[in-house]
Amino acid sequence: MPNHLARNTAGFVSGVGIALALNVCGIGLLLLSQHLFPALGKGQVPWPAWFLVFAVPEATSLLATVALWQKKRPFALGILLWAIAMGTHFTMHVASHWSGR
């Protein structure tokens, strides 16, 4: 029983770590694009940048969850947890900064 629990916990934590790394890469790409193309960074962050930071990692996380669900469920649950947390964070961020225009 403890070996099974340790393996499931390691899979879950690995899933969260991989999903976190994916989001860090998306933010890194956003920062790199603002550095390489400074004209895009003036004012608010453009919608393609939000797509790069949010939509691509979210879609990848959800696809990975579906693909890994049958064989590596704890790993898939870790990825799903991170995707839900990031989706909630993004929704709250947009809701708090929405100007209605």
Token readout for 75 is: 């790993």
Is 70 exceeded by the pLDDT of residue 21? Answer: yes
Q: What is the mean pLDDT of residues 18-28?
A: 82
Closest CA to 23 of 70, 55, 65: 55
Cα 88 vs. chain centroid, distance in angstroms?
11
Q: Which of 45-49, 60-64, 84-88, 93-97 is predicted least confidently?
A: 45-49
Chain-wide mean pLDDT for the chain? 81
Domain boundaries, the chain: 2-96
The label of the residue with tokens 């708090």 reads 96
Which pLDDT belongs to residue 16? 87
Nearest alpha carbon to residue 21 among 49, 13, 91, 40: 13
Q: pLDDT of 38-66, one tens digit each?
A: 766 566 666 677 777 788 888 888 898 99
- pLDDT exceeds cutoff 80 at 15: yes
∠ Cα 12 17 18 (to 5°): 100
What number of CA atoms fall less than 13 Å from residue 59's CA on the CB side?
7
